Structure 1
Amino acid sequence: MALTLLFIILAVFLILGVPVAVALGGASLAYIMVKGLPDVLLIHRMIGGIDSFPLLAIPFFILAGHLMNTGGITTKIFAFARSLVGWLPGGLGHVNVGASVIFAGMSGAAVADAGGLGSVEIKAMRESGYDVDFSVGVTAASSTIGPIIPPSLPLVIYGVMASVSIGELFAAGLVPGLLMALSLMIMVAWYSWKRDYPRDGPINPCWIWTTFKDAFLPLLTPVIIVGGIATGVFTPTEAAVAAVCYALVLGLIVYRSLTWRHLVRVSMDTITTSAAILMIIASAAVFAWILTSEQVATKLGGLLLGITDNKQVLLVIMMVIVLLIGLFMETIAAITILVPVLMPIAVSAGIDPVHLGILLILNLMLGLLTPPIGMVLFVLSEVSGVRFEQCVKATMPFLVPLILVLLLITFIPEIALWLPSQVYR
């Protein structure tokens, strides 16, 4: 009875458009009251859900991304990517993907990519005569690379929830992220051939060298973050702090593009975003505790294992469940709810938790590109001035290569697990 009420109240809140954190917390509070448990249990569980040192990486990575965007770093990255691959047919489409790969090593968030690079990319593609649907579609799809290539905010949260090495998760995301980029570049090449899109210009080694020198210091950011973690110089949380310090040095001292007014605005944006994410994690921690105490994972695991004990079939079933939830729930909330349910099933079936994490995050990224949630689509609609419905239509074709990559990693886990096995095991 209480568990049924929990899901009904949550569904009603989400349908009414109540913020996810409030919906999860409200539904959990109703369950606690029906069960006759102390009200203070809600607060204790919420505090326990965010009382974790690795979660400190979240506000610091968010701050680093904001500093890079505000300090004009994205423009330098875009120029360097343009010099590298702009000479290909449909050059700016390839530049779009390449810039997202580079920026992924700095921000770790799809929305930051879409909001920061997106405005620069779409403006440049429009001025060069590219169709609006193509410009928006490739920008939306390429932004999902951010949370796969390290550092990644969703992978940090998954690692905390699943008690999995964040360093291994970061290593596991590199090859799948590059595979996503390759698949999108193939899609861009096909569009360019079909629509006869222009090259950005002939390859120019002098221009490449000039833009490389200009972007060299920003390009060191992912090297510092990933290299520091891989060599054991610092933890993922300390790497986030290092990224912020480095971004401040670039913005305040090297390029002098940041002012104190910028810092105040960036700090407030970081506080707002971090508070929203941590509130979702705190509320979802109570919700996850309820699911665990009600043995939902055990019951669902028994149901799925009763259907099949084949690992690949189980993974496909779990990915379908994740995909459906990702359509209607924000990424962070989905991770904190799904991990306590899916992890016991994965362990019982012998599925590697690192492999599951990469699949989970990649799957949830598809939810950022589809209505009704589609956070990336809302951001691009705002920065591009294109109606949300047009953004949805433009992005749909680019889901095909991303889904193919998801299936490939599902059935060939070595794609994600090879690099961690070389670095950590």
Structure 2
Amino acid sequence: MTTIWTLVVVPAALLIVGFPVFAALLVAGILTLVLASSVPLAAVHQVMFGSIDSFALISIPFFIFAGELMSRGGISRRIIVWVITLFRGRQAVLPLTAVATCTVYGAVSGSSPATVAAVGKLLFPAMRSAGYSAYHAGGLLTSAGAIAIIIPPSLSMILYGAVAEQSISDLFIAGIGPGLLLSAFMALYVVLAEKRARVGAPRPQAAVPAAAGAVKDGAAGGEVTIGLGAKSLATATREGILAIGTPLIILGGIYGGVFSPTEAAGAACVYALLLTLVIYRELDLRSVLEIAADAAVLSSQILIIVAAAGVFSWLLTINGVAQAVQTALAPVAQNPVLFLLAVNVTLLVVGCFIDTSSAILILTPLIMPLANIAGIDPIHLGVIVSLNLAIGMFTPPFGLNIFVAQSVLKLDIGTIYRGIWPFLLVNLVVLLIVTFVPAISLFLLS
């Protein structure tokens, strides 16, 4: 009975009153050891360090550092400019650009909040200038950033792979189909909603974010009007070819067998440093050190949750809680359809309140044995888990993308809430398709 209080009631209560996730998990773990176990407290340190003693987890700070360099060093701007030029002259050019850029940017950073921040601050003013409503532009950019969790390389899939002991390369490959499907459905929606999304007339020659012309003279910001035709596309491609090559180098290296995902993360850092320091020269050494410090802080925030969740999961196991939950839910796992629906509902609810990293680390050890009973492929399950929690990133009340968008786009919460609902429905449709059509995730692996 004591363990029920310390492992269930205590962490829930601490989260409700505002404790950080890692602190709530650690307090619950220490109380359990003190009140209901003879295991010495020294075990806490051993399990914490053991939880982060993983070669796969080294890729997390590398990918975060690479994403920060892209955002501040001009790489993301050049990618956005190229995508804008590619879609220029087509219906819903800026919304299509937002979806495509989040997909391409996510293929390097692997971080949903970073994608919202980098793409949002450049495209939101342009969308408003083009006559789009604040809630449509804000909702699109807030939700499209979630594509970064699905499209490889994904930090969520790295964590899932480490916990579930699955191949991260296989998870990355499995994320390609669902990621592109989600991008396609969102692109289709913004085209269909084009007329309804505009509430004002476009300003004359509505400007787009710092583009090829601004890049030429080394400006970090500014506006420029991009023309139509093959000449403009050729110019944007020439200015941004090296930036566009960033995701190609990372993913091509992984899938070509040149290096592992962890080594690919290191290669991404080296390549981003080369572009921003030597070729584009938009950063100096001082700026790189500041970016490294920021990336270290963000990485520590993720890894301390990994360590605390490791202690919590270990205690769930040794106290029989995990086994009791699995035994109670085993009848549900006998029906794969019912089991997958239950998993989706659970993860969607959890994703509204708990960050992606914590949800994966706590729930994966509980779900995996049941998925084995249900006959669900663990790689397919990883995609389902990631997609559910990607939706949670922009679902009220505590979706992290919402708060990032509020800060970067300077919008009130009500406007963002109003804008995300259509995109939430689109994401749920894709979730159902991916859940019940495993071939979308697994066809490249076969």
TM-score normalised over the length of structure 1 = 0.96
Instruction: Please tell me whether residue 264 in structure 1 is matched to residue 265 in structure 2.
Output: no
Of 216-225 and 177-186, more deviation after overlay is shown by 216-225
What's the counterpart of residue 319 of structure 2?
Answer: 294
Instruction: Please tell me whether residue 383 in structure 1 is matched to residue 408 in structure 2.
Output: yes
Q: Secondary structure at the match of 1:105?
A: helix
What's the counterpart of residue 190 of structure 1?
Answer: 192
Q: Secondary structure at the match of 2:444?
A: helix
Q: Secondary structure at the match of 1:328?
A: coil
What's the counterpart of residue 256 of structure 2?
Answer: 231
Once residues 348 and 294 of structure 1 are traced to their aligned partners in structure 2, the CA distance between those partners, rounded to angstroms, is 22
Once residues 86 and 169 of structure 1 are traced to their aligned partners in structure 2, the CA distance between those partners, rounded to angstroms, is 34
CA displacement, residues 141-177 of structure 1 (integer Å, 9 cap, x when unaligned): 1100111111111111110000000000000001111
The answer to whether the 8 A contact 2:110-2:153 is kept is yes
Match of 1:120 among 119, 122, 141: 122
- Aligned residue runs from structure 1 range 49-60, under 5 A: 49-60=51-62
The answer to whether the 8 A contact 2:352-2:396 is kept is yes
Once residues 399 and 75 of structure 1 are traced to their aligned partners in structure 2, the CA distance between those partners, rounded to angstroms, is 27
Structure 1: state its 5+ residue gaps.
Answer: none
Q: Secondary structure at the match of 1:258?
A: coil
Aligned residues: 421
Of 306-315 and 133-142, more deviation after overlay is shown by 306-315
Once residues 144 and 271 of structure 2 are traced to their aligned partners in structure 1, the CA distance between those partners, rounded to angstroms, is 25
Alignment RMSD (CA, Å): 1.6
What's the counterpart of residue 21 of structure 1?
Answer: 22
What's the counterpart of residue 215 of structure 1?
Answer: 240
| Aligned-pair CA distance for 1:343 | 0.6
What's the counterpart of residue 74 of structure 1?
Answer: 76
Q: Secondary structure at the match of 1:379?
A: helix
Once residues 413 and 315 of structure 2 are traced to their aligned partners in structure 1, the CA distance between those partners, rounded to angstroms, is 36
Once residues 291 and 227 of structure 1 are traced to their aligned partners in structure 2, the CA distance between those partners, rounded to angstroms, is 40
Once residues 386 and 340 of structure 2 are traced to their aligned partners in structure 1, the CA distance between those partners, rounded to angstroms, is 14
What's the counterpart of residue 141 of structure 1?
Answer: 143
Match of 1:400 among 410, 421, 425: 425
| Aligned-pair CA distance for 1:265 | 1.4
The answer to whether the 8 A contact 1:46-1:285 is kept is yes
- Aligned residue runs from structure 1 range 318-329, under 5 A: 318-329=343-354
Of 311-320 and 203-212, more deviation after overlay is shown by 203-212
What's the counterpart of residue 94 of structure 1?
Answer: 96
- Aligned residue runs from structure 1 range 147-158, under 5 A: 147-158=149-160
Q: Secondary structure at the match of 1:420?
A: coil
| Aligned-pair CA distance for 1:109 | 0.6
Once residues 93 and 264 of structure 2 are traced to their aligned partners in structure 1, the CA distance between those partners, rounded to angstroms, is 34
Instruction: Please tell me whether residue 275 in structure 1 is matched to residue 290 in structure 2.
Output: no
Once residues 374 and 250 of structure 1 are traced to their aligned partners in structure 2, the CA distance between those partners, rounded to angstroms, is 33
Once residues 333 and 378 of structure 2 are traced to their aligned partners in structure 1, the CA distance between those partners, rounded to angstroms, is 19
Which amino acid is the alignment partner of residue 69 of structure 2?
L
Which amino acid is the alignment partner of residue 125 of structure 2?
K
Once residues 75 and 406 of structure 1 are traced to their aligned partners in structure 2, the CA distance between those partners, rounded to angstroms, is 30
Once residues 270 and 197 of structure 2 are traced to their aligned partners in structure 1, the CA distance between those partners, rounded to angstroms, is 44
Once residues 2 and 221 of structure 1 are traced to their aligned partners in structure 2, the CA distance between those partners, rounded to angstroms, is 52
Instruction: Please tell me whether residue 4 in structure 1 is matched to residue 4 in structure 2.
Output: yes
What's the counterpart of residue 177 of structure 2?
Answer: 175
- Aligned residue runs from structure 1 range 410-421, under 5 A: 410-421=435-446
Runs of 4+ in structure 1 deviating by more than 4 angstroms, as ranges, are 195-203
The answer to whether the 8 A contact 2:120-2:408 is kept is yes
The answer to whether the 8 A contact 1:172-1:417 is kept is yes
| Aligned-pair CA distance for 1:297 | 3.7
Classify 1:35/1:315 alpha carbon distance in 2 versus 1 (closer, same or farther; 3 Å): same
| Aligned-pair CA distance for 1:203 | 4.8
What's the counterpart of residue 205 of structure 1?
Answer: 230
Structure 2: state its 5+ residue gaps.
Answer: 207-225
Once residues 46 and 373 of structure 1 are traced to their aligned partners in structure 2, the CA distance between those partners, rounded to angstroms, is 27
The answer to whether the 8 A contact 1:68-1:74 is kept is yes
Q: Identical aligned pairs, as a percentage?
A: 37
Match of 2:106 among 97, 104, 107: 104
Classify 1:298/1:203 alpha carbon distance in 2 versus 1 (closer, same or farther; 3 Å): farther
What's the counterpart of residue 340 of structure 2?
Answer: 315
Once residues 44 and 94 of structure 1 are traced to their aligned partners in structure 2, the CA distance between those partners, rounded to angstroms, is 49
Match of 1:358 among 383, 386, 395: 383
The answer to whether the 8 A contact 2:393-2:399 is kept is yes
CA displacement, residues 177-219 of structure 1 (integer Å, 9 cap, x when unaligned): 1111111111101210334588989852211111112221111
The answer to whether the 8 A contact 2:380-2:442 is kept is yes
Once residues 277 and 250 of structure 2 are traced to their aligned partners in structure 1, the CA distance between those partners, rounded to angstroms, is 20
